[in-house]
Amino acid sequence: MTNIGIREIVGLSVFIAAGCQDHTPPPPRASVPPVGMYNDEVRVVPGKPLPPPEMPHYQPPFTDEPLITQVPPEQAVFVDAYAQVGRPRISLFVNRSLEGQIIPTNAGGRVAGVQNTRETDGAIKMESTRGRVDQWGRPIDERTDRFETQGPARVTDRTEVYLAPGQYDEVAAKRVDYDAIENILTDWLAAGGKVSMISAKLSEAQIKDLQKGRRNVLNELSKDNQVDVLIQVQAHATRQTERGLEVRLVAEAINTQGGESIGRAVVDLPPPLEKRAINEYTRFLARKLMYDMSRTWSNPAPAPRTGASQAPPTTQP
């Protein structure tokens, strides 16, 4: 390459470089605002207030217990058998005393104790220990009786099943809610209105006779109140504990005509005798009575004995 060519290339490069330069002047310097220029208080105009929310209805702090609506397993069969025998009218009564009795049926009377009698012509020596147990099963109030003779002798020993008056707290006995037991058990047996449960109108004398277990009340219930079946419940004191009195509920369903027993149930009601416990244990009584009465109504009546007149049945299929 010649010197002339080199000069032309260099000149062209200088020209191009000079033509690409930016000659725009720089932006003007911004002035800094003085101190306190923007310190004026900003006033916010409040908007229109919203309407107050709708106040809910006042609900008192009730703590309702749940209603017991679970149907007993025996109810369906019981209601069916009840309808097949002509829907007899049933009356339930709970004795208002721990010392009452249930009307004895043709099958036997009330069992309140066990009695043993022994006789001997020779010498005899006996020793018996009596007492009670507390709620943990520990023996308390033990007493040992000894008897010895050369004979002859007749020895009678009786064991009471229930506590006698004076062996339990009388104040606790007065707290037994017989009305609650009667009402709740009636609700169970009514089966949601499918069973006719009636309240018999009894005089004070009839109530006393009923609580003493006198059979004449059965005829009066049948004639005066058209009651076909009487369910009688008796509470017995069985144990005195630190939490209260334990009672045994004994129930029996009896035909008012003829006095036959068609159902029985027994349950121990532990203390404290509150509504929850009454609901639970009367439910068992109702289930057992439903079971027995259903079987009695479903089975044919026994054949009459030879030479004996058969009483007309209370209910007919």
Q: Where do the domains of the chain lie, and which CATH numbers do they carry?
A: 75-109+166-298 (3.40.50), 114-160 (no CATH)
Separation of first and last alpha carbons in the chain:
140
The predicted-structure confidence for 32-65, as pLDDT tens digits, reads as follows 777 666 666 667 777 777 777 776 665 666 677 6
DSSP 183-246: HHHHHHHHTTTTS-EE-----HHHHHHHHTT-THHHHHHHHHH--SEEEEEEEEEEEEETTEEE
Q: Are 259 and 215 in contact (CB under 8 A)?
A: yes
Give the amino acid at 169: D
Highest mean pLDDT of the ranges 138-142, 171-175, 240-244: 240-244
Quote the pTM value: 0.60
Q: Residue 283 and residue 286: Cα distance in Å, rounded?
A: 5
Mind listing the pLDDT tens digit for each residue in 224-238?
999 999 999 999 888
* Mean pLDDT confidence for 283-304: 87
